[in-house]
Structure 1
Amino acid sequence: MVTSPDYGQPFALVVEDEPLILMEAVSILEDAGFQMLEAAHAVQALSVLEEHHHQIKLLFSDVDMPGDMDGFALAREVARRWPSIAIVIASGRSKPGPFDLPEGATFISKPFSATIVYHHVRKTMPEDAQPEPLRK
């Protein structure tokens, strides 16, 4: 679901099954200047990516979610299929092992703040791909 009408700004896909955390992550990334797409689990996220991968510049995903694919596996699949998409993974329960995250992806612990999210998104995305509010 697209939640912002400004098609000049890059898209971020947030994958989170907890509604309150989803709302918080969407709000933080909207404030950073992203247009938002949402998914509740990895299969839904892959479907959104199939349709919108050319617009999506950031994947922000939880690790633990319903279904057979967790956020680490989703991150590896996204990196393999769409290497230009920056990846930030978050969890309050899991920590990445040596081969869980693809190269260039970053991990943050929950609970997170806007400051922490912005820091990791800036670190993960090329500056020219970042929306203007994030660069300030």
Structure 2
Amino acid sequence: MNSTSSAPYALAVDDDGLTRMNVFDILEDAGFRTLEAENGDDAIAVLEQHQASIVLLFTDVQMPGTRDGFALAREAHSRWPHISIVVASGRVRPAPNELPDGVRFLSKPFSAETVYDHLRELLPDGRKPDPLKK
């Protein structure tokens, strides 16, 4: 677990606790300090409170509440363009132009290495935690 004060924050959003814990572990192993939310509505509240510290939003698509992962990605991209975004789902895929430019989509299930590869490409060098700079 990485708890150094210089590590960037990531927000993991998934209504399934086991999946969220898995993503949480992957992101912590990648060097992030990780926040979590159970749905898109809770995620917006976390983003509003911590947006200056968060560099990555990693969200599921199908969740309860007023925002699914696609809507969350669009809103977060619009309100906080400095935050990199990964959307993941094992059931649905985004339609053309459903996600903003620069947002990554991952199919579930995914391996930690797949996540790391995407994050290495997605995050600007100044926002990558040390383990992803390799």
Q: SS in structure 1 opposite 2:102?
A: coil
Over 3 Å counting, the alpha-carbon distance change for 1:4 and 1:49 in structure 2 is farther
The match for 1:42 is: 40
The two structures have a TM-score, normalised by structure 1, of 0.95
The match for 2:100 is: 102
Mapped to 1, the partners of 2:41 and 2:66 lie a distance apart of 9
The match for 1:112 is: 110
Contact 2:90 2:107 in 1 (8 A): yes
- Structure 1 segments of 4+ aligned residues over 4 angstroms from their partners: none
The match for 1:91 is: 89
The match for 2:75 is: 77
For residue 33 of structure 1, the aligned residue among 31, 38, 41 is 31
The two structures have a TM-score, normalised by structure 2, of 0.96
Deviation at 1:97, TM superposition (A): 0.7
Q: List aligned pairs for 1:114-129, cutoff 5 A.
A: 114-129=112-127
Aligned residue identity for 1:17: D
Mapped to 2, the partners of 1:27 and 1:107 lie a distance apart of 19
The match for 2:52 is: 54
Deviation at 1:7, TM superposition (A): 2.0
Contact 1:33 1:131 in 2 (8 A): yes
Aligned residue identity for 1:88: V
Alpha-carbon RMSD across the aligned residues, in angstroms, is 1.2
Contact 2:2 2:29 in 1 (8 A): no
- Which sections of structure 1, spanning at least 5 residues, go unmatched? none
Identity %: 52
Deviation at 1:15, TM superposition (A): 0.4
